Amino acid sequence: MINLHSAFLPSSVRLVQCALAILLTCSVSHGAEAEVLWRADISSQPHGSTEGFGPDTSIVQEGDLHYLSKKGPLQEVIFQEAGKGAAAWVNYRSTVRFRFSENCQMIIAVKDRGLERLDADYLWYYVAVNKTTLTTSIHHLKEKDSFEGDPRVGSDVELKSSGFPNLEPDTWITFSVDVGEKVLRVRLVLDSGEKGEWEFPVFPGTGGSRIVARAPVDISEFVIEQLPEPVMPKE
């Protein structure tokens, strides 16, 4: 049985809290599995390795867990290789599992430098989460392509006011974005069991995905999957 609670927020963003576990790393729809487009090779890297992940990063091992640790406070793009050759990507899921120690500012960039910019000319979207807020924002949009109050330009959701707890340090968090032609579906799952889902309208367009971190952070997984069905707005 699924308990589904919906609320329409002032920012026209819908939150859905599900008692059923949300499958983030392997999506199945009508028997079809998601295809992995790109995965960060973290688990097989030796402790201390710094090759190919981004500035001021290294692999750390805690027991059986390998994770990437970013120590510097400056904004950095992690896993630069992820978005290469991805201009035509659409209907995919980008997932990162992370934890922070003090400040939290994790960003998944989507629709990055893509195609099909017929309704609006822009470069990418940022989907960002910090301790208290989930935000979407379009970047380098031409002023002529939007109107005042257009929700496709960006939205802010206060986690607590939408029924989800604020993020706590030293806790692993799974953060994912399903990228459709005209919608982004964002999920947060905490190791303690809390799950949240939000939906944001966006301008049409394809494009790749990457991670941008603005504070020290640990990352145990980053994977991009092609979903078996189009990502459509929920009725």
pLDDT at residue number 154: 94
Q: What is the DSSP string of 8-53?
A: E-TTS-EEEEESSPPP-SS-EETTEEPEEEEE---TTSPTT--TTS
Q: What is the pLDDT of residues 206-221, one digit of tens each?
A: 999 999 998 899 999 9
For residue 108, the model assigns a pLDDT of: 97
Higher pLDDT, 100 or 44: 100
Between CA 81 and CA 176 the distance in angstroms is 19
- Tens of pLDDT, residue by residue over 114-142, are 987 878 889 999 999 999 999 999 999 98
For position 32, what pLDDT does the model report?
A: 67
pLDDT digits (tens, 9 = 90+) for 136-181: 999 999 888 888 889 999 999 999 999 999 999 999 999 999 999 9
Whether 41 shows a pLDDT value over 60: the answer reads: yes
Q: Rounded to the nearest 5°, which phi and psi values hold at 92?
A: -130, 165
pLDDT at position 136: 97
Q: List domains and CATH numbers for the chain.
A: 4-226 (2.60.120.560)
Q: Which of 182, 15, 175, 189 is nearest to 111 (CA)?
A: 182
Mean pLDDT over all residues of the chain?
Answer: 84
What pLDDT sits at residue 199?
97
CA dihedral 69, 25, 231, 87 (to 10 degrees): 50
Q: Indicate the residue type of 182.
A: K
Residue 34 confidence class, pLDDT cut points 50, 70, 90:
confident
Cα 12 from Cα 199, distance rounded (Å):
9
Distance between CA atoms of residues 141 and 122, nearest Å: 4
Does the pLDDT at position 53 exceed 80? no
Sign of CA dihedral 162, 23, 65, 217: negative
Q: What amino acid is encoded at 156 in this protein?
A: D
**65, 84, 60: which is closest to 216 by C-alpha?**
60
Q: State the pLDDT confidence band at 7, using cuts at 50, 70 and 90.
A: very low
Under a CB-based contact definition with an 8 Å cutoff, are residues 162 and 152 in contact? no
